[in-house]
Amino acid sequence: MKYLTIQEAFERKFKRQKKIKKLKYDALGSCVHIGKISPGCISCFKVDPFAINFFSGTKCNVNCIYCTSNKNDKGGIKTKIIRFANRVLKPSKMSASPPSTFCFGGGGEPLLYFDFISKRVKLLHRLCKNLKRKPWLYLYTNGILANKDMLLKLKELGFDEIRFHLGATNFSPAVYRHMRIATKYFKAITVETPAWPPHKKQLFKMLPIIEDIGVKHLNVGEIEVNHNNLKRILKAFPDAEIYPCYEVHLDDAGLVYDIMEEVIRKNFSYSVLDCNCFVKLIQRGRAKWICSGDI
């Protein structure tokens, strides 16, 4: 493993970005992308007090090397999450500030918490029934449980977008089939998967497949490194280079920009967003209160 200074890491990114003329820069450079990003991504960069994210729990049906969650966690829905749900899903709260986006994610597999999701979404619809604004409703999944029956349930609940983490299942053919089914039922299908260097060949193999499926957005995330995944990452990828930027991140050696260049070269139709450390910096900090730009 090698430690990079922030100067080394940032200079690499900026040099790589300059080579791609079609890149778009928003939020003073924190949002770097090609194409139009998903509505669910905008709240990461733009001030939006009405974006609601539920992190259901850490229980999962896969075991990703780079997962930042605590593997000793039992994965139950935390009391504080239930309290948060009860606090935001009140008639007075909804009428005063109806959500613009409503998301279910977390450090595990959200579809393992389907009952929790279903109850909250049904309550949301009841509370927002007479309001003009309908929130953009989306969910993350590794795709294993997203078969036709589950997708129909999510459609009935009114979801707009489903995001698939393909790297979690090593780009499973079964998950690709689930994604193809999903395109029939939702406004947007997104792939959100990390720039994990050992997956480079599979990521490039993925690009024409998701174009054929009809995916609208590709979000390539830079891997965060913490005490839960550091040893596993080093065992699988001894040549890892890491650097500090809000949290500690794994440098992807320009992999996300290699992907963007291929998407541009092949004229694929989906957007590509570089979810690097700068996204986390603006998403989790106070920067977007002054750095938001038109996206």
Angstrom distances, CA of residue 166 to CA of 62, 86, 217: 11, 32, 13
35/208 Cα distance (integer angstroms): 16
Number of domains in the chain: 1
- Burial grade of 236 (CB within 10 A; 0-12, 13-18, 19 or more): middle
pLDDT band at 132 (very low <50, low <70, confident <90, very high): low
Nearest partner of 171 among 187, 191, 147, 154, judged by Cα = 191
Nearest partner of 259 among 173, 171, 187, 199, judged by Cα = 199
| pLDDT recorded at residue 91 | 65
Q: What angle do CA 185, 263, 199 make, to 5 degrees?
A: 85
Which one is predicted more confidently, 226 or 99?
226
CATH of residue 144's domain is 3.20.20
Write the pLDDT tens digit of every residue in 54-112. Answer: 887 889 999 999 999 986 666 666 566 666 666 666 666 665 666 788 899 978 999 99
> What is the residue-averaged pLDDT of the chain?
90
229/240 Cα distance (integer angstroms): 12
Domain of residue 230, residue span? 2-291
